[in-house]
Structure 1
Amino acid sequence: MNEYFASCPRGMEELLLEEIKPFVQESSIGKGGVLFKADWRSTLVLLITTRLASRVFLKLHEFKFKNEKDIPKHVESYDWQDFIDIRDTLKIQTILDRDGKKIYKNSVYMSQLVKDGICDKIKSIRGTRPSVELENPTHSFNFRVEGEYQCFKGIVSVDLCGEALSNRGYRPPGHKAPLRENLAAALLMASDWNPKEDVLIDGMCGSGTILAEAALMLGEISPAYLRCGKRISFSFENHPWFKKEATLKKWWDELKTKAYAEGKRKIGEFPEYRIYGFDNHKTAMHVSRETLKILGLKREHVPLDLEDVTTLVPPVEKGVFICNPPYGERLGDVDELSDLYYRIGENLKNNFKGFRGYVFTGNPELRKKIALQTSARVPFWNGKIECRLLRYELH
């Protein structure tokens, strides 16, 4: 049984804990994610089924220290050969807890100390050192420093993913969206949308992230479906220990092949007119259409239309409405957006009776412009912006 940490954006920890529980033996919430214990096969299944985790780290080595100069010798005491070879490259990221930040001001220096310990150990056995690569390393290690009574605890973990799990592979080339894929999935999970029963309408679909995540959930399709199809490797596949595990490697390859084949089949059987997307920008419509096309969805699977959210009339009588309007990050934006938020609320009030409405925003002043009573305010973080998913009962 190994120990792991699944990271996620702040505010999603409770949802991630519930998602992870069926796959693991023990689990608990940590800062920015979930700690859990599981065997290898359960963890690998989790890697291609989690909609919420950003990355999954395997805990390798833990030690206590009083002086940072002792870090290299503690790190060197561990045998790193199962996780990095002399031909590999590595990157270390150091995370300090509140107590750690009071004493240690330079996390880059801490990372260098851990790097020295790993590389010196490999050199003592193989005669040469692996190289450091900050942009695109073969392996990424995480060094967490936590304060304890009269000392600090250092924990070294290795990233199993390589490319973040939240990178589903459906984004059109060269396009950056303001909403991460796993955050979009979390918003849908935090709502009361039932994919088997409810129609979903995204009134400001933008680049189509919420639409794409909703489609994967409705079709019960693995979020790693495209990654498996494109054969984008997970970094643990390059670990020396894994390359020697022929039986586990064969099972993993079959698991990925099955995930992609099932995804393709379910796309072919995808129900029509259960998810709708609207936006008043032609560019957004184009990007959304490309996003859905990359997933393999046709126009009738997720109809898109050029409509303004403030005048939109729903194509069905009941369901779930959601939108993610601009937050107003620049000075002067709030005044311009106040009318937009007010008119969103008025349109929900007048044209969406029988729906449950959700507005995701990172601006507490703008949300007050919606003249409707909220029945829930679910906190999330979109990067460094504290946000709320607001729920409205539209009777």
Structure 2
Amino acid sequence: MLKQTEGSRAVAKAVARCRPEVIAACPVPPQTQLVDELSRLVKSGSLKPCTYVDVESAFAALSTCVGASAAGARTCTATASPGLLHMVEPLYNASRLGLPIVLTVANHASGAPSNAGNDHSDTMSQRDSGWVQLYARDHQEAADLHPQAFWLAEELSLPVMVCVDGFAPTHVRKRIKVPEQSLVDAFLPPYESRRVLDPDDPVSIGARVGPDASTEVRYLAHAKQMRALEAIPDIAAEFRRVFGRDSGGLIHPYCCDFADTVVVALGSVLGTVCDVVDEMREAGVRIGALGITSFRPFPLEAVRTVLGNAQRVVVLERALAVGVGGIVSANVRTALSGIRLDGHTVVAGLGGRPIAEESLHRLLTDAITGRLGKLTFLDLDTELVERELARMARTRRSGPSAKNMLRDLGSDR
């Protein structure tokens, strides 16, 4: 049943209906409402049996999940940008130990300078940590991806990160269908841990591995992700059969058949992109959009199949690889190796800057008419940047650039 619900609360209810046995949490905005709702459900007794561990740091939250998962419990937690960066060591521990932990990340920018606006710099920084990364398009998919994430994690014994854009899907209220308990029970197989710590048969977890087996351990993580490429569409198909709606999977093409130009993006910006695609198609432009849900593992063949007949591809990036430019676009280029077409990387929306339809119209018109460069920063204030570069050239002690530019803008506080 459709219900007006805040995104974080809907995700919390979806997680609860997966019947986790251990939840470890440290509130980090914008995921605080999520773990707050889970704590309320545990305290009320409606989520039994479940142990809620209120820890003092994000590092401790994931470390607790590592221990609980190694002991055989269905385990999950949630975090956001600074918390995710604080978790880096246990992130690698969880993936290399093959522990089926589900982690919800409410994406926002990473500092310093401090910024709580939405972009993907936090999770993109951990793209090679060995975790599956699934990016939600909207409120509905943010909730729906969680039962699928638990199934995937437990089937292949690997950790899964569900990435939900912060301060949009997490906080805005929309009418969505929160997965019902009876349907989640019909969909999600009972948890049977691949490993259980047994005092009568002690083993070491995370024992030292030298050069004789390090490559093999890393290859095993890669092999599991390659298996995930096959499992993710199958799980999404079963979800569609049980729930009657399309969520998850590897990719979501939109109007890509016979499109000369295709825009590639991840996350909630796809709603705006698809609106612009509709408007441009009404004007006779052959354009489409490709949403990527599974960024890790990256669906090379699926992306190649959709984009192979396009004349140009515009990849909209919500993060920046400093010194190179695009992150998603590098993966898209790998998928299109050997195919000749125009490719453009557009860095947009960093730190929560709005990605306006007007800007996208102008950007895509420039791409179609051959005026768009290979790397573009959408709505970049070039005058502001040039002023700071000139200041840095004039004096060695020019001061902190962020502060200088805020002062130039008249918004220094």
For Structure 1 versus Structure 2, the TM-score category normalised by the shorter chain is under 0.3
Q: Which has the higher helix share?
A: 2
Larger Rg, first or second structure (1 or 2): 1
Normalising by structure 2, report the TM-score.
0.25
Q: Which has the higher strand share?
A: 1
Normalising by structure 1, report the TM-score.
0.26
